[in-house]
Structure 1
Amino acid sequence: MQKLKLLYRETNWWWPLLYGVGGAFLTALVLAIDLYAKELFPNDWKTTLGLAQTIHSAVFTGLLTMMTFTFSTILVVLTTYSSQFSPRTLPNFIENRQVQHIFGIFIGTVTYSITMLFFMRPSLKDSVVASAVAVIVVLIAIIAFVAFVHIVSQSIRVTTLLDRLHEEGCTLITEHIDAIKEGHYQLVSSQEESYPFHVTAAQTGYLQAIDYDAVMKSGQRVTIDVAIGSYVTQGQRIGSAAQQEVEQGIIIGPTRSAEQDFPFVIQKLTEVALRAISPGINDPNTARHAMRQIGDLLRRYTVLQDGDLLVTGEGAVTVNRLAFSDFLYLTFYQLRHYGEEDISVLATMLEALEIMKRDALPEHKVSIDRFIPFVCSEVDWSALNEWDRRHLEQAQEKALL
């Protein structure tokens, strides 16, 4: 089930294909009405065969041009996402269901127009529904095109991307916390529990997700020693099991997926911030906004204690989780390195750490307090002017409170 869910999320041609098939079915329905039920419609709806062919020909040509423009615009947006934000953020636009529905409307309308034009024969002395439906679908396509322009104009804004990543992270952590409250998940102390049979990676790639129901069938008990999102190679031992044949429930792919990988969402936010503070873009305010989003997501994450994830059901699956101190370091170590010369970036990084402490467990607060001096460890305080030094010192003192 989890594999199908992941496939549905990452497959981008399902909806356009369904709309195309819908356009073909609409053609069949309209032809049936024109052949057998034309007397049910007013005479004002009737058009000659020649006019109907002209309308459908114009509709097909116009919509094909519109679809070409839409496709070109999508490529421009993808290029912007890759160059200005991060290559890892491309799926956030590609997997947008609104974009897929709009593109599907164009494909369905073009399919209807070209198939209807093909089936128009002299036997249709007058066309009742075909021309009227062509006008209706064109109006729907125009509305969809206006919606597409609005979606693109919003998606190209970096704040919209950051908000979507923040929402994606909030959804993941909320589902995780709810599953723990309901007793489906448990956080247990890390332990070196081993079973007789080795679990190996079926292919090289990233551990995208685990289908717990498939793994736990027949009372299976499994321990996964690597965290979700880790890079594994074919044949690598990634855990152990009480029985054989559990690999089909372990989903490995060429890229990381945010389906069960909360750190991957944080990584995408971090990469947007890194790209923003690069000399080629030089947009520190975007980096500061991304770090505040990171701080809020990790604030939600710090209510969870360290330990492995235990999922129980018919069997049991234990999955390795990254310790919070390591998670914290991997989130900020690049930002701290590339932003060390920008006082505003360092101050906002300290602000993000202060945000995390608001709801953190005591052990996580200790890790954050230990990490705060590391943020400014390479700052040459003696070279700072009075205003910069005071601003950074105040941010550091506030984070340590």
Structure 2
Amino acid sequence: MFERLIRIWERLRHSLWILPLLFGLVGSLLAGCIMVLPDLPFKQMFSPIWPIFSDISDVRNMIGMLLPALVTMFTLALSITMVVLTLAAQNLGPRLIRNFLGDHATQSVIGIFVANITFLVTALLMMGGLEAHNDVAQVAGLVGALIFVISLFSLIVFVHHLGRSIVSDQVIIEVGDRLEKIISETHDRVGHAVIEARNAGTILPEALAIDPETAIQATQSGYIQGIDYDGLCKRITEHHAYVELIRQPGEHVLKGEVIGRILCDESQLETLRVQINRDVAKTVMIGNYRTAALDVEFSLRQIVEIAVRALSPGINDPFTAIASVYRLGRALRHTLAFVYPIGLWMDDNSIARLSGPVSDFSGMLGAAIDQIRQAAAQKPDVLIPIAQTLEGLIPFISTDRQRDEIRRQAKIIINTARREIGEPDDCRDVEKAARRVLRYSAEWHETTLGENPLKENQPQDS
């Protein structure tokens, strides 16, 4: 249930219209509240600037002048937004458009314009039956003028914000911060299951080895956007069965494809198969696109896409690629908590009920490094930072599997340098950085793993 709510929130958060809609409703509500105010001593309350207008016709005239100006500024703000989205799609990647659409500053500024327009329109409509010298209309005109000034300064702030938002370094920082948050949230949800699976030595079957009688099939085609593991575990516990999933969030499945199997008493299989398949269909969320909130590797690839585009011949910006590598290194530091590629969920009696694949450090490291390394095969100025990033992760690794994956990446860098870099000195520099990774990792030995390996391997202050 929690994962389903996250998916809904993710969809709403990246919708450009939801916050402006709320602002517009607030603007109309504010105008309505002002126009139905009782006869209060407004002259005494605003005595330094009262009377503001000679009569209600002046208020109507002012609103008639402000509305076209507001609509023009609102159109300008939308035009600037479209230009920024176009530049972002060309230089940073179309998958980052969602981040720009979900930017709260952009939504808020557009919302201020919408609120101001709806306020003035609502106030103008409600002035139809008022007397010529109505004090409430004076207050509505004053508030409308103040909101107009706020909208004017908001446009200036908006232009400044959008100017900064398309700078690649700023985008890398913001996407990286969001990535670290997603990694932390994902670990909070599945970290305990990863430890359980590692301690139990849990393994998963291959799809071809699953008996069709016990198979669980996908009910539709698309990406697995999220899995409600806890909810599915509770449903399986009610059936006194055990389910092994073989697919994880982020993977694409076809309708009818095997995504898991049921293990239970053979006498109950015929009855439970329909019920458990129905439960899996409700808790395994499949859609047409991947979601960043429930898919760590998708979030990693947003930064990877920035780096790969920067290394393309049309852009050729190695500095952006280097910044992406270092920011990925900071995020990969947190992925070391994922020490095993499988999760195991227990019921209240510590009986295993559900297991399934999860993203582990090896998969995340490959998702972060492979495409950048391939695109930078002839660029020693990018390969060396990749090796330095791998070296920086060594003090925090927790398992032999993590060490072996780092060593594998270092060996690939050496082979890539020998094959692609023609300048001997450049090749030697890359090899030196990669061999330093091999030398330092060879001195590491696996230690006892606790609930959170990140905390255990943090250096202690002297």
Q: Same fold (TM over 0.5)?
A: yes
Of 143, 158, 172 in structure 1, the residue corresponding to residue 182 of structure 2 is: 172
d(CA) in 2 for partners of 1:18, 1:151: 22
Match status 1:120 vs 2:124? no
Deviations 1:163-212 (A, max 9, x none): 1121112112223444567x576451442378976443332221111233
Residue in 2 that maps onto 1:144: 154
Residue in 1 that maps onto 2:426: 388
Q: Structure 1 residue 323: deviation in Å?
A: 5.1
d(CA) in 1 for partners of 2:84, 2:338: 37
Judged with a 3 Å threshold, the aligned counterparts in structure 2 of structure 1 residues 185 and 383 are, in CA distance, closer, same or farther, namely: closer
Judged with a 3 Å threshold, the aligned counterparts in structure 2 of structure 1 residues 368 and 119 are, in CA distance, closer, same or farther, namely: same
Residue in 1 that maps onto 2:71: 64
Aligned residue pairs, count: 398
Judged with a 3 Å threshold, the aligned counterparts in structure 2 of structure 1 residues 335 and 133 are, in CA distance, closer, same or farther, namely: same
Secondary structure, aligned partner of 2:61: helix
Of 224, 232, 239 in structure 2, the residue corresponding to residue 215 of structure 1 is: 232
Is the contact between residue 16 and residue 104 of structure 1 (CA under 8 Å) also seen in structure 2? Answer: yes
User: Percent identity among equivalent residues?
Assistant: 25
Task: Read off the aligned partner of 2:127 and give its amino acid letter.
Answer: M
Of 82, 86, 90 in structure 2, the residue corresponding to residue 83 of structure 1 is: 90
Secondary structure, aligned partner of 1:318: strand
Is the contact between residue 210 and residue 249 of structure 1 (CA under 8 Å) also seen in structure 2? Answer: yes
Residue in 2 that maps onto 1:357: 394
Residue in 2 that maps onto 1:9: 10
Q: What TM-score comes out, normalization by structure 1 length? A: 0.90
Match status 1:265 vs 2:302? no
Judged with a 3 Å threshold, the aligned counterparts in structure 2 of structure 1 residues 107 and 338 are, in CA distance, closer, same or farther, namely: same
Deviations 1:88-144 (A, max 9, x none): 111111112222222111111111112222332253323221101101211222343
Task: Read off the aligned partner of 1:336 and give its amino acid letter.
Answer: R
d(CA) in 1 for partners of 2:316, 2:420: 25
User: Superposed, which structure 2 residues align to 1:150-299 within 5 Å?
Assistant: 150-179=160-189, 183=192, 186-188=195-197, 189-192=201-204, 198-218=215-235, 219=237, 222-241=243-262, 243-244=275-276, 245-246=278-279, 247-299=281-333
- Larger deviation: 306-315 or 8-17? 306-315
Deviations 1:318-341 (A, max 9, x none): 331245444433433322222111
Deviations 1:222-248 (A, max 9, x none): 432112100112232222356422212
Deviations 1:316-366 (A, max 9, x none): 543312454444334333222221111111112212221222311241112
Residue in 2 that maps onto 1:372: 410
d(CA) in 2 for partners of 1:384, 1:347: 16
Q: What TM-score comes out, normalization by structure 2 length? A: 0.79
Q: Structure 1 residue 383: deviation in Å?
A: 6.5
Task: Read off the aligned partner of 1:32 and give its amino acid letter.
Answer: V
Deviations 1:231-279 (A, max 9, x none): 1122322223564222122222211111121111111111111000001
Judged with a 3 Å threshold, the aligned counterparts in structure 2 of structure 1 residues 169 and 104 are, in CA distance, closer, same or farther, namely: same
Match status 1:132 vs 2:139? no
Is the contact between residue 77 and residue 156 of structure 1 (CA under 8 Å) also seen in structure 2? Answer: yes
Judged with a 3 Å threshold, the aligned counterparts in structure 2 of structure 1 residues 239 and 278 are, in CA distance, closer, same or farther, namely: same
Task: Read off the aligned partner of 1:93 and give its amino acid letter.
Answer: F
d(CA) in 2 for partners of 1:119, 1:313: 61
- Structure 1, gaps ≥5 residues long: none
d(CA) in 1 for partners of 2:164, 2:347: 43
Is the contact between residue 347 and residue 392 of structure 1 (CA under 8 Å) also seen in structure 2? Answer: yes
Structure whose CA Rg is larger: 2
Of 102, 122, 126 in structure 1, the residue corresponding to residue 109 of structure 2 is: 102
Question: What is the alpha-carbon root mean square deviation over aligned residues?
Answer: 2.6
Task: Read off the aligned partner of 1:60 and give its amino acid letter.
Answer: L
Judged with a 3 Å threshold, the aligned counterparts in structure 2 of structure 1 residues 99 and 132 are, in CA distance, closer, same or farther, namely: same
Q: Structure 1 residue 312: deviation in Å?
A: 4.6
Residue in 2 that maps onto 1:332: 369
Judged with a 3 Å threshold, the aligned counterparts in structure 2 of structure 1 residues 323 and 9 are, in CA distance, closer, same or farther, namely: closer
Judged with a 3 Å threshold, the aligned counterparts in structure 2 of structure 1 residues 346 and 293 are, in CA distance, closer, same or farther, namely: same
Match status 1:343 vs 2:373? no
- Larger deviation: 210-219 or 71-80? 210-219
